[in-house]
Homo-oligomer: A and B are copies of this chain.
Amino acid sequence: MKDVIYPSFDDVIAAHDRIRPYIHRTPVLTSSYLNDLTGADLHFKCENFQKAGAFKVRGACNAVFGLPEDKLERGVATHSSGNHALSLSYAAGRRGIPCTVVMPRTAPEAKKAAVRGYGGRIVECEPSTSSREAVFEQVVAETGAEFVHPYNDLRVITGQATCSRELMEQVEGIEGIVAPIGGGGMISGTCLTVSSTAPDVKIYAAEPLNADDAARSFRAGHIIADDAPVTVADGLKVPLKENTWHYVSNHVTDILTATEDEIIAAMKLTWERMKIVIEPSCAVPLAVILKNPDVFAGKRIGVIITGGNVDMDKLPWFKG
């Protein structure tokens, strides 16, 4: 295994300059109701308002717009549970290069339609890590496309790092940041920025109890991967990989979990009180904040709202 050269904060600044024309500097919202309820001073970084509906466009744009000329013709390819698929399609569309995405056949229809809307080509797989990776190998063999992994790619992690860079600029005195964890791309980007610029800020990862492989990995000291966990937080089913494990194991303060009911309740509460559409995946941070008042009360906390791509015909608080 070769030595990995991890990106520096200068690389984050360069990424930010590279992707700025293609992304939004998303707003930070507050809610006096949720502050009263939690006892914390919460600042929500609204990547649900981001281009393509999620933070993942940051990493995808950094990878696509950093591609050398000789790789453009064959385009890019990836596998993704949803938002990275949209984001890579968006980024490739903006650069005018081909993009193929392997998506679980169970992915929300709204996400599939949006991928096609941005010009991406979809190849379907079964909803498990093993099927996704097998189908993807075929796609790369056929197209010769540049693989942009949804999270285990340092170009992607460096792009995601621009999100917490903006948050730290937008809100003074942040004492902790809470973000969801699936494969660990957003958390790794957060670690990259925070460890370089504000090492005293605590970093909490929020994970569904039903897909708590990152929490178990964190406690065990090595990567534990589940193949096909079942959770409403469909963006958080994927396992850590070596690059994200580097950041998680070195810089994360703690990984906290929430049940499916707690996640759905936090999602509905956010819709009702903040009037914003957020995905189940990004309700996990609020769920763990509500569950652990001793950790968060009295502190100024940044919360990453990672995305807002929801299938409106399948809301989790409607049964059947």
Which chain A residues have a beta carbon within 8 Å of chain B's beta carbons? 27, 29, 48-49, 53, 110, 268, 271-272, 275-278, 308, 310, 312-313, 315, 317-318
Main secondary structure of the interface of A (DSSP, over half): loop
Interface centre among A110, A277, A313 (most CB of B within 10 A): A277
Cα distance A315–B310 in the bound complex, in angstroms: 15
* A48–B49 CA distance with the chains assembled, in angstroms: 15
Contact of A272 among B49, B278, B312 (CB under 8 A): B312
Using known A-B contacts A272-B110, A275-B277, A277-B276, determine if residue A317 contacts B312 with beta carbons closer than 8 Å: yes
Complex contacts, A48 vs chain B, CB 8 Å: 275
A-B pairs with beta carbons under 8 Å apart, 19 shown = A27-B27, A48-B275, A49-B275, A110-B272, A268-B312, A271-B310, A271-B312, A272-B277, A272-B312, A275-B276, A275-B277, A275-B278, A275-B308, A276-B276, A276-B277, A277-B277, A312-B315, A315-B318, A318-B318
Question: A317 — which chain B residues lie within 8 A by C-beta?
Answer: 312-313
Give this chain's copy count: 2
Nearest neighbor of A27 in chain B, beta-carbon distance: B27
> In the complex, are the beta carbons of A271 and B277 less than 8 A apart?
yes
Q: Give Cα distance in the complex from A163 to B8, angstroms.
A: 46
CB distance from A178 to the nearest CB of B (A): 20
Residues of B within 8 A of A49 (CB): 29, 275
CA distance A317 to B268 in the complex (A): 17
CB-based contact A275/B312 at 8 Å: no
Interface centre among A27, A53, A268, A276 (most CB of B within 10 A): A276
Q: Across the two chains, which residue of chain B brings its CB closest to A31?
A: B49
Please indicate the chain B residues that have their CB under 8 angstroms from the CB of A272 in the complex.
110, 277, 310, 312
User: A35 to nearest B CB, angstroms?
Assistant: 14
A271 contacts which chain B residues (CB < 8 A)? 277, 310, 312
Alpha-carbon separation in the docked complex, A313 to B277 (Å) = 15
What residues of B have a CB within 8 angstroms of the CB of A308 in the complex? 275
B contact residues around A53 at 8 Å (CB)? 275
Complex Cα spacing A268 to B275, Å? 14
A111 to B260, CA, bound (A): 27
A317 to B311, CA, bound (A): 12
Bound-complex Cα distance A278 to B276 (A): 9
